[in-house]
Structure 1
Amino acid sequence: MPTKETLPKQTALDAILAQGLLPLFFYEDPQVSLHIIQALYRAGIRTLEYTNRGEAALENFTYLKQQLGQTHPDLQLGIGTIKTTDEAKAFLQAGADYIVAPIVSPQVGDLVHEAGRLWIPGCFTPTEVHLARQHQAALIKLFPANILGPAFVSAIKELFPGQLFMPTSGVEIDPGNLSAWFSAGVCAVGMGSKLISKDILEEKQYQKLEERTKQALHLLQTTRNL
């Protein structure tokens, strides 16, 4: 029976595993960011990562949590590109449901665990995976995935039995690409500009994003069931 402190961590992990696809993006306009998330939600997304990649990230994230908490209470909103404890503290205070990082920082991991939240560090080598596991990373982001490739997962997964992996960066909305990743043993995929493109953001193509996301979710479901 999970305790009150560990429940949010497990809830976040379960949402990512169930969805199998973790959209991620940042945009400097908070209203556009909100509309992007609403389009993702209409398509069936219930968990996503906003990234800490601009000066407005914290202010935008705080605004998004306030707005979505009122209208989409079942949506899990994590924050990505967190590299320091100061960043982690600020976004946890703003209500982040989970913390995603491009690196392994044990100090950040310890802080997130103490807050009862899910920490998803980014790894590129077996040594980094080992370090992340030593600091109780339930889910590890493989980054950048387009450099590592599915063969990397196949090569290391037996070294780390039971570890959950999620490739991010370069994952395609393509049957062959998705099939290769899931056949290699990943539990989910992170998808940024391949799903939420620069054109979609700048031209506010919300309907196009909704349709593309539905396509990606359908394709992913088919691929996972093969």
Structure 2
Amino acid sequence: MNTIINTIEAYPIIPVYYHNDPARCIEAFNRSYQAGIRVFEFVNRGEKAEENFKKIVDYRDKYAKEIVLGAGTITSRKQAETFIGLNADFLVSPVVLPEIAEAAAIHHKIWIPGAMTPTEIAICSNLGAKMIKIFPASVIGTSFLKGIKPLFPHLKFMVTGGIPLEIEEIKKMVRGGCFSNRVRRSFIETIRIP
């Protein structure tokens, strides 16, 4: 589990992607890999999420073994167990649910729950989370991050939600205590491979 957190630390920009077309999914994954990305999150936000995640896992295992591949938008134990069964390296949730934490712990997977308040962050920590997704980051902002980091020095924070992709904005988040940034599909689709 620490290896995955170390990889996220070394490669803190995490593409977050979903598309119904498996060819588009593989293309987005491959573009990200070719651009130097080593952590990729495929979100559970469509009817072909499980099927396309499996195709990405198969592609990764054949051509890009060093990529850490996670499943996002996990909102139930059943979804957690399904994506763990499909070989997700980590799970990202928009919510804090003990049942997801338990499924991740049983299978020794990283669980990254979403939180917006100090109480939610404390609950996540008590449930075993080592990394917390702070969102929507555009609403909460860097002052919130700076304020909570000293309260939870043992936790890593991942920010997401409306963060401009300008380097100065990303630097502000990092200075505020952010450990990694998630970027959306529109960013991935603009990656041009030489």
Provide TM-score, normalisation by structure 1. 0.82
Q: What is residue 204 of structure 1 aligned with on the other side?
A: none
Q: What is residue 53 of structure 1 aligned with on the other side?
A: 45
Gaps (5+ residues) in structure 2? none
Q: What is residue 78 of structure 2 aligned with on the other side?
A: 86
Q: What is residue 179 of structure 1 aligned with on the other side?
A: 171
Gaps (5+ residues) in structure 1? 1-8, 201-207, 215-226
RMSD between superposed Cα atoms in Å: 1.4
Where do 1:40-119 residues align within 5 Å? 40-119=32-111
Q: What is residue 210 of structure 1 aligned with on the other side?
A: 192
Q: What is residue 11 of structure 2 aligned with on the other side?
A: 19
Seq. identity, %: 31
Distance 1:120 1:12 in 2: 12
Q: What is residue 221 of structure 1 aligned with on the other side?
A: none
Q: What is residue 123 of structure 1 aligned with on the other side?
A: 115
Q: What is residue 164 of structure 1 aligned with on the other side?
A: 156
| Amino acid aligned to 1:63 | K
Q: Is the 8 Å Cα contact of residues 47 and 76 (structure 1) preserved in structure 2?
A: yes
Q: Find 2:144's aligned residue among 134, 152, 158.
A: 152
Q: Find 2:133's aligned residue among 141, 156, 164.
A: 141
| Amino acid aligned to 1:102 | P
The 10-residue stretch of structure 1 (50-59 or 180-189) with the greater mean CA deviation from structure 2: 180-189
State the structure with more CA Rg: 1
Q: Is the 8 Å Cα contact of residues 18 and 185 (structure 2) preserved in structure 1?
A: no
Deviations 1:87-111 (A, max 9, x none): 0010100110110111111110111
Distance 1:71 1:165 in 2: 30
